[in-house]
């Protein structure tokens, strides 16, 4: 997969790899670590939100075939979206972890992102780790605790117990805590809405009780003086209230049946 303008020299390659690690919250130590194709797909996800589906990927591939399937998803998306990667994508070579091939592809994709301020802003504002976690949740529970590191960080090829796994576990705990806080906020909002509903229903009961009293008084006034215009008008207004305005069993304690009513 020959390309013009590929990073020349160890310093340029190290800077390029550091850029990918920073933008996509990865821990790749060499370009060969990008062989799973996840970060490439995430680049497209940042530039074209919703155009690719991360949950279609194998986020913790263990074989060349699994990595190749991810790269085929990426290749198909590149063609569909018209992204210039500077040449033909050699999936078999990339899936085998050829560092030079990945350096060339990583360089071409960064150049595409750097080609406009809007694209660069989209990449810099992309929450890569969160997106991988959400995609992993759609796929299903993790097969084992040992896969946590690779599921969260595509740059980790062979996860083992150690600092990286501990860091990913901490990040997972933080994400769970954020989700708990969000659920608590939504529950509080629902409780407040429910409280407002009951308060409104309480006030409606009081108003209905008052209307019943007005209706009874007006009826007595009309009986005493059928020509009383005020009593007749008020009675007509009260009579316009729909019969089902207060449903049966709803705030019955406020319905005035002729006594003092209980409120």
CATH number for the domain harbouring residue 86 = 1.10.418.10
- CA quadruple 30, 142, 24, 169: dihedral sign: negative
Give the residue, 185 or 142, on which the prediction is more confident. 185
Structure-token pair, residue 103: 């350096």
Higher pLDDT, 18 or 7: 18
Instruction: Tell me, yes or no, whether 31 and 129 share the same domain.
Output: yes
Of the ranges 37-46, 215-224, 237-246, which one carries the lowest mean pLDDT score? 237-246
Buried b (16+ CB within 10 A) or exposed e, 11-40: eebeebbebbbebbbbebebbbbbbbbbbb
Domain that holds residue 206: 191-254
Give the model's pLDDT for residue 109.
92
Mean pLDDT of 165-182: 71
CB 143 within 8 A of CB 159: no
Per-residue pLDDT at 107 exceeds 90: yes
Of 16 and 183, the one with more pLDDT:
16
pLDDT at 159: 40
**Does 32 share its domain with 136?**
yes
What pLDDT was estimated at residue 141?
A: 42
Task: Provide CB contacts within 8 A for 76, sequence distance 6+.
Answer: none
36 with 85, same domain: the answer is yes
Place 86 in a pLDDT band, splitting at 50, 70 and 90. Answer: confident
User: pLDDT exceeding 70 applies to what percent of the chain?
Assistant: 75
- Shared domain check, 250 and 202: yes
**Of 160, 179, 203, which one is at a domain's C-terminal end?**
160
The residue that leads in pLDDT, 159 or 51, is: 51
Q: What is the mean pLDDT of residues 188-214?
A: 77
pTM above 0.75, yes or no: no
Range with the poorest average pLDDT among 33-42, 88-97, 159-168: 159-168
Exposure string of 223-251, with b = 16+ CB inside 10 Å and e = fewer, is eeeeeeeebeebbeebeeeeeeebeeeeb
Instruction: pLDDT band for 16, please (50, 70, 90 cuts).
Output: very high
């Amino acid at each position: 997969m020959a390309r013009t303008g590929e990073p020349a020299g160890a310093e340029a390659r190290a800077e390029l790899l550091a850029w990918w690690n920073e933008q996509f919250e990865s821990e790749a130590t060499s370009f060969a670590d990008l062989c799973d194709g996840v970060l490439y797909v995430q680049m497209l996800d940042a530039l074209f939100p919703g155009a690719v589906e991360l949950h279609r990927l194998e986020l913790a591939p263990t074989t060349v075939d699994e990595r190749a399937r991810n790269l085929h998803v990426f290749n198909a998306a590149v063609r569909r979206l018209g992204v210039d990667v500077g040449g033909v994508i050699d999936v078999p070579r990339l899936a085998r972890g050829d560092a030079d091939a990945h350096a060339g592809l990583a360089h071409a994709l960064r150049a595409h992102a750097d080609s406009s301020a809007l694209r660069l802003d989209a990449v810099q504002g992309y929450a890569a780790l969160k997106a991988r976690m959400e995609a992993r949740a759609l796929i299903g529970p993790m097969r084992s605790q040992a896969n946590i590191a690779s599921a969260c960080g595509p740059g980790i090829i062979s996860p083992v117990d150690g600092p990286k796994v501990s860091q990913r576990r901490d990040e997972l705990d933080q994400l769970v805590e954020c989700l708990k806080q969000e659920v608590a906020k939504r529950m509080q909002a629902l409780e407040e809405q429910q409280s407002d509903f009951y308060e409104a229903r309480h006030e409606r009961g009081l108003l209905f009780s008052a209307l019943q009293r007005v209706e009874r008084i007006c009826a007595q006034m009309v009986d005493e003086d059928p020509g009383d215009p005020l009593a007749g008008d008020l009675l007509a207004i009260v009579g316009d209230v729909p019969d089902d305005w207060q449903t049966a069993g709803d705030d019955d304690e406020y319905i005035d049946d002729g006594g003092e009513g209980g409120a």
